[in-house]
Amino acid sequence: MNQNRAFAKLEQKLSSSVGHRVDLQFADARRINASTAHFMLAYTDTKIPSSDEIADFFVRKYNAKITPFLSTARVYKTQKVITVVAQILSITRDIEDTNKSFMKPVIEGAVYLDVPLQETWEVAERAGTKVLVRKVKDDIIALVNARKKTMMDSYSTKTFASLAVGDNVTRYLAILDKGDYVRVLVDEKVIQAEVVSVKDDQVKVKYKGGMTSVPRQNVLEIVGKNPALVEKQEQDMVDYFAKAYGDEDYAEDMV
């Protein structure tokens, strides 16, 4: 039995005895906004972590203050990493609470202060219904860094940047074009959309529910490049090789 297999068996035994995946480690986090980030978790076992094991990781590591959107989880088997969007736990309350005496308007119809609790609540829309959402004071990356400083955890050295060249985790995010199809965070939901326009820090997308602009970092993954752009790039390559080798059929075969 080689050393890697022996180590894997030891991890399996430890996981069984402690009740959770001891090989599942924090690797990296990419900030989306103050309350939301794109996390990367690394694992060493041959078994891919389940949704329950990913959820359990966040409960244990961050005391349930950060919760993952499990529908956004993506597994990259070759690198043995999982990416998932997670957010500081969002607490809501009934919009009718704005009529109670202890709720004082900061901005009428938009922001309210719960005087006894000294908490700020913002009016937001969830599934077509107005609710109050507690304003998050903490920054999600600050919470992650605080955990790293106070706990004696082991961490993976894998990062989004290190995987950018070898995989599509972030490979194309810097090269975003009009007409690309993306997975993007809109109103705290991950949806598939088409890119309408791209600016330095903003991306306009259209989707089944309409059209909106979001910060560029809200784009989590490019699932398909603009078909017309891909076709043009392929034709440019054919033209280049045809000129270089003097044989268009050979050039097409190469491309």
- Domain assignment present for residue 243? The answer is no
Q: What DSSP character marks residue 169?
A: S
pTM score of the predicted model: 0.63
Question: 226-249 pLDDT, tens per residue?
Answer: 666 555 555 556 565 666 666 666
Domain with residue 82: its CATH number is: 3.30.1360
Residues 83 and 115 in one domain: no
3-state secondary structure string across 63-126:
CCCEEECHHHCEEECCCCEEEEEEEECCCEEEHHHHHCCCEEEEECCCEEEECCCCEEEEEEEE
Answer yes or no: do 64 and 105 share one domain: no
Same domain, 149 and 44: yes
Q: Most confidently modeled of 4-13, 61-70, 152-161, 183-192?
A: 61-70
Residues in the chain, how many? 255
- DSSP label at residue 246: S
Distance CA 141, CA 154 (A): 18
Identify the domain containing residue 190 by its residue range. 181-224
Q: Is 111 exposed, middle or buried (0-12, 13-18, 19+ CB in 10 A)?
A: middle
Asked if 24 and 96 sit in the same domain, the reply is: no
The answer to which of 5-9, 31-35, 94-98 has the lowest mean pLDDT is 5-9
Residues 81 and 155 in one domain: yes
Q: How far does the chain reach from its first CA to its final CA, in angstroms?
A: 44
By the 10 Å C-beta count (0-12 exposed, 13-18 middle, 19+ buried), 64 is classed as exposed
Count of structural domains within the chain: 3
Whether residue 254 lies inside any domain: the answer is no
Please, what is the angle between helix 51-62 and helix 140-150, to 10°?
70
Cα–Cα distance, 232 to 33 (Å, whole number): 35
pLDDT in tens, 122-169: 898 776 788 898 877 778 999 898 888 777 666 788 888 776 555 455
Q: Are residues 100 and 154 part of one domain?
A: no
* Pair 13, 50 in one domain: yes
187 — phi, psi (to 5°)? 50, 45
For residue 197 the two structure tokens come to: 């326009």
Percent of the chain predicted with pLDDT > 70: 73
CA 237 to chain centre: 34
Q: Are residues 56 and 102 in the same domain?
A: no
Q: Is 134 in a helix, a strand, or coil?
A: strand
**What are the strands of the beta sheet with 111-114, ordered from one edge?**
92-94, 129-134, 119-126, 111-114, 103-107
* Averaged pLDDT score across all residues of the chain: 78
